[in-house]
Amino acid sequence: MEALTATVKQLTEILAQVGASLAAATQKLEQTTKSLLSSEESLTSTKELLASKEEELASTKEELASNKESLGSTKKELASTNEDLTLGNQSLTSVKELLVSTEEKLASANQSLASTKEKLEQTTSALTQSHMNTVDMLNAQIKLRNEDIIMARTTMAESEWDREDLDEQIRGVADVPDKLRKRLSVVSNEVCSNVADTMAALSWRIARWEERNKETIASIRDLESQLES
């Protein structure tokens, strides 16, 4: 009877250890999920900032194109004025006044073009720095996700080992009555089922993290391609 009591106590302790291991695995899963949610929110914020910078660059390019068209128009006007001067269709005084006015317009257009180019260079520099910062941040997120994946897989492996160890110990105890053995087997199956459910959720989460890593790597390559161009 004492041997049976000791055996039951031993099995109870084993079940308690497995329960503690399951609780620890669940806590690790919750911590890892919170870390992933924080990383996803940071990535969303960075993408919104990047979109804003790209819109600003597009607007600056449109302004530059408009100024180039204005400069082309002014140059055509100057060419027309020079032709009028050559042909002598207007008086010399009138031609000189028109030429001065056209040159002033050309100088103003050149000044506007220079200002636009400077603004474009500043915007391009800021966008380049933003891209580089984004790449660094995304690489850091990938590193964190990889650490989470390693931790999750380690937790799964430890839980599987605990389950197998429990099964072996229940089967290995020879002096346990069949009725008690069956009851312990039922309890063991329930614990193993709970562990399996937790591991299934963890496996799904790992797959999701790996998919997120692939998407992030694609984003990094796109940003690096933009920097090279």
Please indicate whether residue 123 or residue 55 has the higher confidence score (pLDDT). 55
Domains observed in the chain: 2-228 (1.10.287)
Burial of 120-144, coded b for 16+ CB within 10 Å and e otherwise, reads: eeebeeebeebbeebbebbeebbeb
User: What dihedral angle (degrees, nearest 10) is formed by the CA atoms of 157, 162, 163, 169?
Assistant: 150
Query: What does the mean pLDDT of the chain come to?
Result: 73
Q: What is the pLDDT of residue 8?
A: 67
- Rounded to whole angstroms, what are the CA distances from 4 to 11, 108, 175, 179, 225? 10, 102, 7, 13, 71
Q: Residues 44-94: pLDDT tens digits?
A: 777 777 777 778 777 877 887 887 787 778 778 777 767 765 666 556 677
More confident residue, 73 or 176: 73
Task: Give residue 88's region: left, alpha or beta (phi > 0; psi -120 to 50).
Answer: left
Reported pTM: 0.38
**Spatial distance between the Cα atoms of 223 and 131, rounded to a whole number of angstroms:** 6
The DSSP string of 58-112 is HHHHHHHHHHHHHHHHHHHHHHHHHHHHHHT-S-HHHHHHHHHHHHHHHHHHHHH
